[in-house]
Copies of this chain bind each other. A is one copy, B any other.
Amino acid sequence: MKPVKVGLLGLGTVGTGVVRIVEGHQEDLQSQVGSPIMIEKVLVQNKSKARNIAVSPDKLTEDPWEVIRHPEIDVIVEVMGGIANTKEYILEALSLGKHVVTANKDLMALHGPEILAKAHEHRCDVLYEASVAGGIPIIRTLVEGFSSDRITKIMGIVNGTTNYILTKMSQEGASYSDVLKEAQELGYAESDPTSDVEGLDAARKMTILATLGFRSNVALEDVSTQGISSVSKEDILYAKRLGYELKLLGIAESQDDQISVSVQPTMVRKTHPIASVNGVFNAVYVFGEAVGETMFYGAGAGELPTATSVVADLVAVVKNLKLGVNGKQGAVAYKEKKLKTDEQISSKYFLLLHVADRAGVLARITQAFADYEVSLESVLQQPNPNNPDAEIIIITHDASRAAIKKVLANFESLDVVYKVKSVYRVEG
């Protein structure tokens, strides 16, 4: 049984987990694939750095090409992150006929089609289960589990940092800035949290999920993205009072092969299964025409959960190697992409308005909705405890994004509307 040799790019959190699992579960892995799996070379930034895992020093290298061009290495596992360098390394590995497992959502969201085309050209596998929702095997589920179905909706809590922040705000009534600071101290948020809190990380993951779910090459720029940095305590308070939780949701929809993908803070009715996904956990809700409602829940990040998915992909590559069928994944995106217009994207909306507290105001505001044929599900007017204005909370029935934009533009010229405090999509 000739061992399969693996080159590892990166020995950070996930890389360390990969080494632990490959070494710790070696016997199990061998039973499944029929030969040993050996980590032959590991790319690190600094060979002499102290590590909390023992890797033989002669396996470590600071030269990427020593790993990528190593003649005995069959599979490259990329867990170093970043885009420009990793793209170069992976394309070179593929052109040398080496298979690739990557956890790199940024790379796959931005350059997935190019990388998959190169893999196809050289009959290589590229697997990337760990790039979305760490420990949840959601890519396998979309590609294989639901190969027979037509998926019409994917809703994901795919960013643990923002879900942690929103959960804490909801459970403790705390402010965004206080919870962000706490999350940074606990290591749940980066010192520069932009990518997480502005929804960019989630948008990249939704690009990947929408491409696989709808079998059409969705690009990052197709994803309309809004983060959580302007979510207030009051928003969450009102959400809860009305029976909703506020979650940063990626939402991808397809009707008649027309697609929309977005990431935004969303009011989710508490009875919806995704509303109770709390803390750093991730979940992906998938609705298929035939299968109906499904949801997949688990850790979205972390050393061992993410490494579980990386090594599961490695097992799949090695099984393919034994069968001689690498590079036969087939086209993931065989449908032409057709994007919905703002007129075609429809949902309920929640609006919180600060308005003048005098007679006839509610009539004028509700007329503004009626002018664009947006009908209202519920309207609540109440005094604002903090200032002399009144607050109006409105939940609409299904309305197009275009109509809501027009209503909001119309409010600009209405003197009785002092401020549109919040506008959120509503689900469930």
Give bound CA distance, A17 to B129, whole Å.
30
**Which residues on the B side are within 8 Å of A299 (C-beta)?**
291-294
The 5 tightest CB contacts between A and B, nearest first, are A137-B145, A148-B311, A294-B298, A290-B304, A135-B291
Please name the residue on chain B nearest to A331 by beta carbon.
B31
* Bound CA–CA A304/B290 (angstroms): 5
Interface residues of A in 291-346 (CB under 8 A from B): 291-299, 302, 304-305, 307-312, 314-316, 319, 323, 325, 328, 330-331, 334-335
Bound Cα distance A96, B29 (Å): 32
Mark contacts of A102-127 with chain B using CB atoms, 8 A cut-off: 1 yes-contact digit, 0 otherwise: 00000000000000000000000000
Q: How many copies does the complex hold?
A: 2
**A 62-87 binary contact with B (CB < 8 Å = 1; else 0):** 00000000000000000000000000
Q: Are B298 and A297 in touch, CB under 8 angstroms?
A: no
Q: How far is the CB of A255 from chain B (nearest CB, A)?
A: 15
Contacts of A150 in B (CB 8 A): 25, 28
Q: Does chain B have a CB within 8 A of A420?
A: no
Asked if B297 and A296 make an inter-chain contact with CB atoms under 8 angstroms apart, the answer reads: yes
Flag A131-155 by CB within 8 Å of B: 1 or 0 each.
0000111001100111111100000
The answer on a CB contact under 8 Å between B32 and A146 is: no
A288 touches B (CB below 8 Å): yes
Say yes or no: B307 contacts A290, CB within 8 Å: yes
- Report whether B305 and A290 are in contact in the complex, using a CB–CB cutoff of 8 Å: yes
**Which A265-282 residues have a C-beta within 8 angstroms of B?**
273, 276, 281
Smallest CB gap from A316: residue in B: B144
A21 at the interface (CB under 8 A from B): yes
Within 8 A of B (CB), among A22-53: 25, 28-29, 31-32, 34
Q: In the complex, A325→B291 CA distance in Å? A: 28
B140 touches A308 (CB 8 A): no
List chain B residues, Cβ under 8 A from A294.
135-136, 296-299
Establish whether residues A308 and B137, one from each chain, have CB atoms under 8 Å apart when the complex forms.
no
- Most chain B CB within 10 A, of A28, A31, A137, is at A137
A276 CA / B270 CA spacing, docked (Å): 11
